[in-house]
Amino acid sequence: MTVRSSGTHPIHIEQDVVLARQLARKLATECGMRLIDLTKLVTAVSELARNTMVYGGGGDMDWQIIDESPRTGLRLTFRDEGPGIPDIKLAMTDGWTSGSGLGLGLTGAKRLVDDFELDTAPGKGTRVTITRWT
């Protein structure tokens, strides 16, 4: 796997969530992603960026355009230093929502991408990494 380009986008206020979606759309387009895949990715970004801001108290979205012949992908990592997720099993239950956001929850975001990793613990913050391949 080769990292073609990478960067970090802060997520602290509502405008940062909007900018994260716009950045993801731009990067996905650069990867040559089909419209349906791009739309799924941007929807997942909306959920995860909002979670980073609301539940994590703000954080960052790290991005990488990666080449793994013959495919290209966009990998995004949402990280915060918030309280972490106390009940991962509940958070990963279909249909569960805390009551705000898009109502997709983590499971909805997971279904919209090709690869999904969750690393969290109470008091340790949360890191969610997603990848969508072309």
Is the domain covering 2-133 a CATH 3.40.190.10 domain? no
- Average confidence (pLDDT) over 27-51: 96
Q: Angle, to 10 degrees, between the axis of helix 14-30 and the axis of helix 35-54?
A: 150
- Average of per-residue pLDDT values in the chain: 91
Q: In the predicted model, is pLDDT for residue 111 greater than 90?
A: yes
Q: In the predicted model, is pLDDT for residue 103 greater than 60?
A: no
Residue of 54 and 98 predicted with greater confidence: 54
d(CA 112, CA 131): 10
